[in-house]
Amino acid sequence: MCRNIKTLFNFDPPATSDEVQASSIQFVRKLSGFTKPSQANEAAFDLAIERVSAAAQELLNSLVTNAPPKNREVEALRAKERSVARFGK
């Protein structure tokens, strides 16, 4: 999995469309191997981002859980702690 793509489900506040879009861009970049596509591939690249974003948003909207929403700040702190434990300062 792409390390830059973050979990977006079950957070308070919910993921924004900008966050879904950013994750979609990262996913398409990873799949294609392009950071920025050539002009010949730009339309296909943009269409892929649009479709992945729509599918991701649909998924997030349809998922259900009984777990309480996670706090973004707490999860960010936990991620930093895991990083320090794994890689040091």
1 pLDDT higher than 70 = no
Q: What confidence score (pLDDT) does residue 4 get?
A: 65
Backbone angles phi, psi at 11, to 5 degrees: -115, 155
User: What is the 3-state composition of the chain as percent helix, strand, coil, each rounded to the nearest 5?
Assistant: 65, 5, 35
Amino acid, single-letter form, for residue 33: G
For all residues of the chain together, what is the average pLDDT? 92
What count of other Cβ atoms lies within 10 Å of the Cβ of residue 24? 21
What's the pLDDT band for 3 if we cut at 50, 70, 90? low
User: pTM (2 decimals)?
Assistant: 0.82
pLDDT in tens, 44-73: 999 999 999 999 999 999 999 999 999 989
Tokens at residue 33, please?
A: 């191997």
d(CA 79, CA 84): 9
Q: What confidence score (pLDDT) does residue 88 get?
A: 87
